[in-house]
Structure 1
Amino acid sequence: MLKEVTATRYITPLREGGSLPGLVEADDFGTYVMKFTGAGQGRKTLVAEVVCGELARRLGFRMPRLVTVDLDPVLGLGEPDQQVQELLRSSGGTNLGMDFLSGALGFDPLAFPVSPEEAGRIVWFDALVGNVDRSWRNPNLLLLRGDLWLIDHGATMIWQHNWPTAETSAARPYDASGHALATFAPDLAGAAERLAPQVTAELLAEVTAEIPDAWLADEPGFETPDDLRRAYARPLLARAAVIAERITGIEEGK
């Protein structure tokens, strides 16, 4: 399971994107980028972060470590920004933290070359999880000591927002024409050959087990959190076998 920590100090909001994550210190002396249950799409965004982030890590991608962060809303009382104060008050309990990568820079596709192999792996993974938020405008990639790190997977698995149509939605092609790495001739065939066999039912069961029960409770149509965990795994397992053939809008590397 994800490590559990408790927030001890709210440092500052990070105003990139619409979910208003914040930088916090925790009782393990770590510094984390914290995402809140009270923001945006709420707990489903955090579920997507866990499923995709932990799956990426197990497939060999660089991902900041994820933890669950227990938040006492009292930490927001001294925050002068009314929007941030309301966010903290509405997010008591279990939230998500991501290791703060000190010194990391935002990836600029015009300034940093990426090999076709690495580009192919990332594009294939984003197609698998249906990531609509890794564009050249907003790459959601960090560069640390010459290595690419994947961040921000809240805008993935859109089928979770309408479970009755999940299987149909998950079968849709992936348009990669606006992807941040589209111009690097991604080797999609090579990526599929290496990564698709690794996406097994066992691996997905391990990944979905990381989702806190609190984020899965009371979902209409599901009796238990484990029922919902299996619903998250099924589209990913089916998609892994065929998604390489359904990526459009990109010229593949040779």
Structure 2
Amino acid sequence: MGTKQPDLRTVQVTRYLTPLREGGSLPAIVEGDDDFLYVLKFRGAGQGPKALIAELIGGELARFLGFKIPEIVFANLDEAFGRTEPDEEIQDLLRASTGLNLAVHYLSGAITFDPLVTIVDSGLASRIVWLDTFLTNVDRTARNTNMLMWHKELWLIDHGAALYFHHSWENWEEQAGKPFAQIKDHVLLRYASELETVNTAFRAVLNESAIQSIVSLIPDEWLVTDSPFSSAEEHRNAYSKFLETRLSVSDVFIKGAQDARESLI
């Protein structure tokens, strides 16, 4: 826990291999100029840069807290890709995503986590539930666990649905201090019996400096579209403030998660 200042590599997308027809965002497996395969998240997809910002902040915060997360990179997409793709829907997506996108290392051979097959101990379950309550991540349910088993270890993926408040920025300061009602649907909630212990441990390592260093990674070009703020810096500061406020009142969201768990078991 508490690794050094994050630093994301930038890769050039050299080959578009195959779309992953999951959800509305049509991510794809691509090859980078480093010869690695990545799952590319497109800036031009339905929720635009906001999903990439959530992916970046959520994934790097999870990594900072010691979770297994595939490497996240910036992925540059050349405008030539849109011209060679026969599928019209994908062609439009590629054209709308020219420039800087986000990609995560493709874990070849990984299998989707199945709670009926793999038992997660209470410590790990509690850490994951804490993370998702903190990030207001609506997307780690039994229907869509967004976890993979790879080399017998549990990896967290896809945080694009986290920080859902930023789709409107309405009352965001008030939202930061509230419990997270959707935690009741979390796939690991029933196993999360150590939330208070985890809360103490995470609050000891996660601080304003760590939050700000991760938020500072957001490229300016992802912050200028559909923004209620006057500058990219002000926009970044709002993300930092939301997370700092949330951390300072973590007892509130932990109590909410414990109440939701009690009604389950």
Global fold match (TM > 0.5): yes
CA distance in 2 between counterparts of 1:34 and 1:91 reads 11
CA distance in 2 between counterparts of 1:238 and 1:246 reads 16
Aligned to 2:139: 133
Unaligned stretches of 5+ in structure 1? Answer: none
Greater shift after overlay, 26-35 or 127-136? 26-35
CA distance in 2 between counterparts of 1:152 and 1:226 reads 25
Match runs of 1:36-115 below 5 Å: 36-115=42-121
Aligned to 1:146: 152
Aligned to 1:30: 36
Name the SS for the 2:59 alignment partner. Answer: helix
Aligned to 1:236: 243
Paired AA for residue 58 in structure 1: F
Contact in 2 for aligned 1:186/1:251 (Cα 8 Å): no
Aligned to 1:189: 196
Greater shift after overlay, 156-165 or 213-222? 213-222
CA distance in 1 between counterparts of 2:123 and 2:210 reads 23
When residues 43 and 220 of structure 1 are mapped into structure 2, their CA distance, relative to the original with a 3 A threshold, is closer
Residue from 193, 203, 206 that aligns with 2:210: 203
Q: CA RMSD for the aligned pairs?
A: 1.6
Q: Deviations over 1:29-85 (max 9, x none)?
A: 121100001101100110111111111111111111111111013213332322111
CA distance in 2 between counterparts of 1:118 and 1:186 reads 10
Contact in 1 for aligned 2:179/2:254 (Cα 8 Å): no
Deviation at residue 222 of structure 1 after TM alignment: 2.3
Q: Percent identity?
A: 43
CA distance in 1 between counterparts of 2:42 and 2:176 reads 26
1:249 pairs with 2:260: yes
- With structure 2 as the length reference, what TM-score do the two structures score? 0.90
Name the SS for the 2:102 alignment partner. Answer: strand
**What is the aligned residue count?**
252
Contact in 2 for aligned 1:2/1:68 (Cα 8 Å): yes
Residue from 155, 177, 199 that aligns with 1:171: 177
Paired AA for residue 65 in structure 1: E
Contact in 2 for aligned 1:118/1:186 (Cα 8 Å): no
1:119 pairs with 2:128: no
CA distance in 1 between counterparts of 2:82 and 2:149 reads 31
